[in-house]
Structures are given as C-alpha cells and as structure tokens.
Amino acid sequence: MTSSTTRIPAAEVTGVYGAVVKIFSKKMMGRVPESVGVLWNHPTVMKDAMGIGRKAEGWKELDRDLASYAAMAAAATIGCSFCLDFNYFMGHNHGLDATKIRQVPRWRDATVFSPLERRVMEYAEAASQTPPAVTDELSDALLVDLGPAALVELAARVAFMNMSARMNVALGIRSEEFADSCGLPPLAERPVFDDSARASA
C-alpha cells in the first residue's frame, strides 16, 4: 500500500514519541505501516486510540480466541481490510488456529466453528450494523454461555473495533498485506448478503 491510496497524505513520523511508535511498530509488525503516517497528522488521536487498544489487550474475562473472532467478524461487517489483515496476522503470531481465523469473514458458511464461536460472531456482526441489531435472545444466550463480565467485554471489544474500523475505512486505510508477508494463506472472502438475506440468516 502507498500513501496515495489514502484520503489524507501520510505525514512524516517525527519526535520522541514518533521514534517510540516506529520501534514498537517494527517490533510487532516488522515495519512501520503507512497507516501510521496517516494517523500521525493528529498524534494525540493516534496515541489515545493506541492507548485504548493496549488497555483492551489487558482485559481477560473473554477467552482470547473468542475475542479475536469477534474483532474480525466486526471488521468484516464494516469492510475494514486493514483490520482483517492485521488481526489475522496477529492471531497467527499469538498461536490461534489459522484454519479458523482465516474463515472468520465467511463464518456463517464455514463448518470449523463451535456453536459458541458462531454466537459470538453473530453478536459482533449484529452489534456492528447500523443501527445495532443485537436481539434479546442472542444476548440472553451469550449471558448464559459467557457470564456478565465476559459479555460486557465482548460488547466493548466489538465497539472498539467499530471505532477503529470505521475510522480506517473513512480515511481510506486499507490492508497492508501483513499476512502475505509471513506466508499465511489468504483470508476467505466474505459473502455478500442483501438486507433480506441477512435478516433471515
């Protein structure tokens, strides 16, 4: 990806905090993503958003695999290719089942997921629609499955992914092919549903 594909030109990442961001990015991803330069146009926004993300990584009530599936399902619903690619890359690095995470965009048709995993992704997808479409029945089922603390965390993780994904899409930030760089097979393509098909799914 080049900065010309984004809707705002990338700024030069400078200063002490910029140096820290570069070191952190290279350690985690092997390079500094072009998207960092776009967000560097407003370093405070980037710093605060990254801070929320780091704090969210410390939440432990929701199983890590379920949290990853939820984040990716939300990103797929919104259409953030950067978020999908980055979470696929990070899931691989954290030892998640690559066969499963690559199927998240088509979770409704995939056969690799448990009923609980499917309910979590259904919740993430429903919560990511406009307006949110989480039903009492789905919430009640997950309350039994997960307990109240994990359900609150699920809702919060999906909300944070919505913030990140919608910002990236609005700014024109797209996949930077992290997964390709470490030899992961492509993500499954997300099927396109019309409104009537989605409502009956």
Give dist(CA 109, CA 90) in Å, integer.
23
DSSP 182: T
pLDDT of residue 5: 79
pLDDT at 6 (0 to 100) = 92
**How does residue 98 score in pLDDT terms, banded at 50, 70 and 90?**
confident
Specify the length of the chain in residues. 201
Q: Is the pLDDT of residue 183 over 80?
A: no
d(CA 117, CA 113): 6
Cα 142–Cα 82–Cα 27 angle in degrees, nearest 5: 100
pLDDT: is 95 or 187 the higher one? Answer: 95
CATH class of 61-200: mainly alpha
pLDDT at 2: 39
pLDDT higher than threshold 60 for residue 17: yes
Least confidently predicted of 43-47, 85-89, 142-146: 85-89
Question: Which burial class, exposed, middle or buried, applies to 4 when counting CB atoms under 10 A from its CB (0-12, 13-18, 19+)?
Answer: exposed
The predicted structure's pLDDT at residue 180:
61
pLDDT band at 27 (very low <50, low <70, confident <90, very high): confident
pTM: 0.85
pLDDT at 112 over 90: yes
Residue-range domain boundaries for the chain: 1-58, 61-200
Query: From the CB of residue 65, how many other CB atoms can be counted at a distance below 10 Å?
Result: 17
- Contacts of the segment 133-137: beta carbons below 8 A, 24+ positions apart: none
